[in-house]
A and B are shown apart, each in its own frame.
Chain A
Amino acid sequence: VVSERRALERMLALAARLVPSSGAIFAGFNWPILAVRVARLLHAAGVTVVYENGIVEDQLTKVLPTAPTDLAAADNSPALTGSLDALFLWLRSGRIDMTFIDAPIVDQMGNINSTALGSYGSPKVRLAGSGGGSELTATGRSVVLMCSGTTARSYPRRVDYITSPGYLAAAGDRARFGYPAGRGPVLVVTPLGLLGFDSESLVPRAVFADVTVSQLSGTFRWLDAVDYAVATIPEPSQAELDAVTSVLTEARARRYRLGT
């Protein structure tokens, strides 16, 4: 079992590999902002990021934004627009190639809960709520979820509350309810590795070398037997680790909590 710090480093390096080297992507708060910054230090200096408030960020900003709403993200921007532009003219229309979103709790169908644990009316733990998170997974193309959890607590069979829709309650729900075709979650990045969808249900696709079968079935409880073709993910290179370390150092200075 790797340390929590090492787990976060691996998750960020893994997510950064998925960031395209050019084109436009949408990034939500927390882990996605950090992963994109790591990617920009490596292969993705040319990627353009759009945030829900209308900021277009086409380069490494001088200062790491604490959130998409932190106007440090607007520094030297080529275009500061509005939310109708970001969420509808670009995201909904399909002009954004990929979307990265933070997923504190994610279930078997890729539904994200960022609203409440327990009953909605009297929650055990009240979380932030959606912001534009519902738009990102309902209408974004090639949506990548980032969940820093390493235990079953973060991956229930069904979330208590669907904030950002994955594949809802059953296969075919999205099509039935009028969700645009070809949109929605495609991958989940975790510290253990990468999960993808098989008939709209999450299965491991690739894991780090030290991750065991029992660890997978203990974390993702819906898996009966892990006999999927699971690839092995190469450990982060020194260059990747350097980029991750540099971004995590900035993140601490910018008061990120970096909790799992």
Chain B
Amino acid sequence: VRVHPTDPMSLLGRALRAAEPTIAMPDRRARFLSLPEAVTEFVADGAELLLGGFAYSDPIGFCHELIRQGRRGLRVIKAAGGLAVDQLVAAGCIAELVTCHVWNSVGPRPPHAFRRALERPSGPPLRLEELSYGAFLMGLVAAAAGLPFMPSTPARGTGHWTHRDIWPDKFAEVVSPFDGRRVTVVAPIAPRLGILYVQRVDEFGNGQVDGPTADFRYAVAACEQVVLLAEQLVPTQVIRRTPELTVAPAAMVNAVVVAPWSAHPTDSYGYYRRDLDFHVWYEEMTRTAQGAERYLDDFVRATASSVEFVEKLDDNRIDRLRLRSERWW
């Protein structure tokens, strides 16, 4: 299929000829990859990536594949760190972490690998950059909209303002040209790659999210490249029935991985509920470094997909957590 150039001379040239009737629809189908292919192609050692989700819709399946392929030195950007980050830290994948918080939200319980890495570091240091979730969100908005910065929540006097490591320029202060007041501004957060979980995707790569959208729309638009992790592939007619739910229009999507149960143990709105038992069990399993290693070996590295992982936990877990039948629409 011929792609029309859009430089002024080419446009002028086209203006001087009658448009030819199009013979064939160009192939706009998305690139569908397997999970291992997506990690191999998009994430090298030392890569920067944003992990989407907000302690629900976390792309856990993708994190598991990063662990299986033994990625090292990653810079991970994740608003709600949660078990996604804790597992990556346990496996030694992360060198730098930009986050708003890291915890096990059931309980709440401590994320042991993350705590160990900071309180009793034994390997290479885990470097950290923290900002509040509102500031993180505004940083994504700035990047998504191509703006030089965004006004944000006042941060002077807080630890987020004082402690800077990976991004010393994350915050600055400007004087409002309108009323002379001081305004905390946040720099654009423009990750090289974004991995986002969506409930549904069509053949073109339009990704839909049900339920609250947290920062998902801005995260999609802030990242240079986007890979969707989709619970389910549906006919495009399903997407077009409720197009307002599309947070990742196909034109913003570089590749799609269809990976059922890849948000487990976090919630997938309308598909499965939060796995509370897993959160409790994981906390117990990972209290020691040896326990965490055993968990990674016996469950993450011993399985090849999220479905295998969940089924390995126990036989009827999927039935207990599932909220709807496969074809919910």
Residues of A at under 8 Å CB distance from B? 29-30, 51-55, 66-67, 69-72, 74, 80-84, 87-88, 92, 114-116, 120, 122-126, 128-135, 138-139, 161-165, 168-169, 173-174, 176-180, 254-257
Contact = CB atoms under 8 A, between A and B. Distances in A.
Nearest to B109: A257
Interface of B: 54-56, 80-81, 99-103, 105-109, 111, 114-115, 118-119, 121, 130, 132-135, 137, 141, 153-160, 163, 173, 181-184, 211-218, 266-267, 269, 273-274, 276, 279-280
Contact of A74 (B102, B137, B154, B269): B269
Contact of A120 (B56, B99, B100, B159): B159
A54 B212 contact: yes
B119 A126 contact: yes
Contacts of A133: 132
The dominant DSSP class at the A interface is loop
Nearest to B57: A71
B159 A177 contact: no
Nearest to B156: A177
7 contacts: A53-B56, A53-B212, A66-B274, A130-B132, A134-B132, A180-B154, A257-B107
Nearest to B53: A69
Given A124-B119, A131-B100, 13 more contacts: A51-B212, A67-B106, A70-B267, A71-B212, A87-B134, A122-B121, A126-B119, A128-B108, A131-B101, A134-B158, A162-B157, A174-B157, A256-B107
B157 A168 contact: yes
B214 A128 contact: no
Contacts of B218: 84
A120 B160 CA distance: 11
* Residue of A72, A114, A126, A174 with highest tally of chain B CB at under 10 A: A126
Contacts of A81: 212-213
Contacts of A169: 157
A41 to B, nearest CB: 22
A84 B137 contact: yes
A144 to B, nearest CB: 19
A64 B100 CA distance: 24
B107 A83 contact: no
Contacts of A134: 132-135, 153, 155, 158, 160
B276 A255 contact: yes
Nearest to A128: B103
Contacts of B80: 69, 131
Contact of A69 (B55, B109, B121, B184): B55
Nearest to B114: A126
Given A115-B130, A178-B182, A126 B153 contact: no
Central interface residue in A67, A135, A163, A256, by most chain B CB within 10 Å = A67
Nearest to B176: A178
B159 A161 contact: yes
Contacts of A126: 114-115, 118-119
Most buried by A among B101, B155, B266: B101
Contact of B133 (A80, A83, A173, A255): A83
Contact of A87 (B55, B56, B109, B137): B137
A149 B274 CA distance: 29
B108 A29 contact: yes
A66 B269 contact: no
